Amino acid sequence: MSDLARQLSSDLAPVQRGLVLRRLLFGLGGGLAASIVLVLLILGPRPDMSGAMDTAMFWMKLLYPLSLVAIALLAAERLARPAASARSRLAWLPLPFVLVALLALVVFILAQPAARETILMGQSARVCPFIVLASAVPPLAGLVWAMRGLAPTRLAETGAVIGLAAGGAGAFAYAWHCTEAGAPFLAIWYTLGIAAAALLGGLIGPRTLRW
Amino acid sequence: MQTAEADLKALMLAGLAGDAAAYRLLLESLQQQLAAFFRRRLAGDLSEVDDLVQEALIAIHTRRGTYDRSQLFTAWTYAIARYKLIDHFRRKGRAKSVPLEDQALFVADESSSVEARLDIERAMATLPAATQSLIRDIKLREFSNAEAAASRNMSETAAKVAVHRGIKKLMTFLGAEPEKRP
């Protein structure tokens, strides 16, 4: 048995700080890049890209998912460590949801009654959550890979948190194609797709994240 | 306990910086403590204990990058040992969680041992008063069955049976299956 201690300590490489976050970023980045390429190749960039870039909603649709990615990733960085708690980092999670929901509510109330259905349902409400979920699969795969090399001990919770990060990344990728410009649309249909990705992560966590 | 944490953490930090000698010393020390930890929890089966020690030690090594230098090193190690134990039980389909957290790996985890004591107290309260005092005398104060029985005017067999039933009830209450000898 003492052989094992000797074997493991021979050719010992130093460990750098920040390894956990770097590994998670690497997995997420690989998956996100794949998702963006797939969205642009299969669905194509939105045709009105240059005009849309002057609108606040274009940036909102990128910023909202990105803020969720950031919070979930920081929480995952804690969950990847045995005996560490992610609670203080997850405490930030409601913020983006609440802000976007409030914005959506204000926009909806201020809109002309006739325009309300358009800003709520747009042209693509029926497919949006599914495409967001599908776009979340490559980043989720990347994050599962990253997490398997780390040491999460709460597998369902960890799965849900990396699912959330993947959902945010999927929504970010899809936003380069999607032409919807209603804040209520973003608040409902994007959020639904992201939540589905978190649920998926929570379901597959206990099986896929074991070590 | 304080010195175990400080010593082991110093060795770990040296190991993370690439000091193979310190790291080997750390692994050898952990090996012994892990063996004691798993032996207590598995009640017997030595081959299982060896497998688990090996598995936990390899996990500690390959996942040493997840140790956060601001964390207690013993808490990190304990969490890995506990995870491996739960995983072991889950694989064998024996129990869903590790019950009776009364002895932490390094007896460092104060809060969980207090919790465990409270759990046991609550479980004890469900037993008849006579059985409770029997269990306390025999299992905690280490009176012999004969001594405990004599002080109560009951036969030794009756005392043994009462304790056995009481423990079984405690285990059920705490959500563990009574131990089965293979």
Note the pLDDT tens digit of each residue in A66-123.
Answer: 999 999 999 999 999 998 889 999 999 999 999 999 999 999 999 999 899 889 999 8
The answer to whether B104 touches B77, Cβ cutoff 8 Å, is: no
By CA distance, what is A8's nearest residue in B? B61
By CA distance, what is B52's nearest residue in A? A1
* Residue B57 forms contact with A (CB below 8 Å): yes
By CA distance, what is B60's nearest residue in A? A151
Range A163-192 average pLDDT: 96
Range B28-57 average pLDDT: 89
- Tokens linked to A193: 């797709």
Taking residue B100's Cβ as centre, other Cβ atoms within 10 Å add up to 16
- Tokens linked to A174: 């899809």
Please write the tens of the pLDDT for every residue from A120-152.
Answer: 999 899 999 999 999 999 999 999 999 999 999
Band of the pLDDT at B106, cuts 50, 70, 90?
low
* C-alpha–C-alpha distance, residues A153 and A33, integer Å: 28
* Residue B78 forms contact with A (CB below 8 Å): yes
Band of the pLDDT at B118, cuts 50, 70, 90?
low
Give the pLDDT of residue B142. 62
- B66 and A150 in contact by Cβ < 8 A? yes
- B83 and A153 in contact by Cβ < 8 A? yes
The answer to whether B105 touches B79, Cβ cutoff 8 Å, is: no
Q: Using CB atoms, which residue from B21, B61, B65 is nearest to A8? A: B61
The answer to whether A99 touches A162, Cβ cutoff 8 Å, is: no
Q: Using CB atoms, which residue from B18, B21, B82 is nearest to A13? A: B18
pLDDT higher than 50, residue B181: no
Task: Enter the pTM of the model.
Answer: 0.76
Taking residue A191's Cβ as centre, other Cβ atoms within 10 Å add up to 22
- Tokens linked to B72: 């207690």
pLDDT higher than 90, residue B153: no
Residue type, A172: F
pLDDT > 90: percent of chain A: 84
- B31 and A83 in contact by Cβ < 8 A? no
Q: Using CB atoms, which residue from B20, B57, B79 is nearest to A82? A: B79
